[in-house]
């Protein structure tokens, strides 16, 4: 009985280790996805954003990504080098997929910043929404 118990504990540790490894892979891929997204935005590739997002009509937000005077592209390519990104990862469970977000800021464009929500479905990151904040009416 004692051997069975010890064997079960060892198996449990192995399973937990595998889950942690999967979680680490998702976190790493969130950083890789950001680098890819940034490069595609800098290259004006709105098609990449459309292909890698769940946003239905990408044309509605094309201006905040590429064209506005305080667009995401301008924030990350500004000559002042005051651009920063916060990247957050949330572990999923049985009900909710893993998720993450990017907050993109640049002091030159303050108080404007962008909140980009992502979801991980089938180990692939997708942009869920892009919001320009603060919301000024």
Residue numbers of the domain that contains 81: 28-133
Report the number of distinct structural domains present in the chain: 1
Band the pLDDT of 20: cuts 50, 70, 90.
low
Average the pLDDT over each of 19-23, 50-54, 60-64 and give the range with the smallest value: 19-23
Q: What is the mean pLDDT of the chain?
A: 84
10 domain-assigned: no
Q: In what order do the strands lie in the sheet with 98-106?
A: 83-90, 98-106, 113-121, 124-133
**Would residue 7 count as lying in a domain?**
no
Contacts of 17 (CB under 8 A, 6+ apart): none
- The answer to whether residue 38 sits within a structural domain is yes
The pLDDT of residue 17 is above 80: no
Q: Does residue 66 form part of some domain?
A: yes
CATH label of the domain that carries residue 125: 3.10.450
Distances, alpha carbon 63 to alpha carbons 46, 69, 77, 89, 105, in Å? 10, 9, 16, 27, 17
Q: pLDDT band for position 22 (50/70/90)?
A: low
* Single pTM value for the model: 0.77
pLDDT band at residue 18, thresholds of 50, 70 and 90? low
Which has the minimum average pLDDT: 24-28, 72-76, 90-94? 90-94
């Amino acid at each position: 009985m004692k051997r069975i118990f010890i064997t079960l504990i060892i198996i449990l540790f192995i399973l937990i280790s595998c889950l942690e490894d999967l979680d680490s892979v998702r976190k790493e891929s969130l950083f890789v996805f950001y680098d890819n997204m940034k490069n595609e935005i800098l290259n004006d590739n709105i098609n990449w954003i459309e292909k890698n997002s769940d946003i239905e009509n990408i044309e509605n937000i094309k201006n905040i990504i590429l064209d506005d005077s305080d667009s995401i592209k301008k924030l990350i390519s500004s000559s002042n080098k005051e651009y920063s990104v916060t990247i957050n990862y949330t572990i999923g469970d049985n009900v909710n997929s893993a998720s993450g977000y990017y907050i993109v800021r640049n002091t030159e464009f303050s108080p404007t910043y962008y909140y980009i929500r992502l979801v991980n479905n089938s180990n692939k990151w997708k942009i869920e929404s892009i919001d320009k904040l603060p919301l000024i009416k």
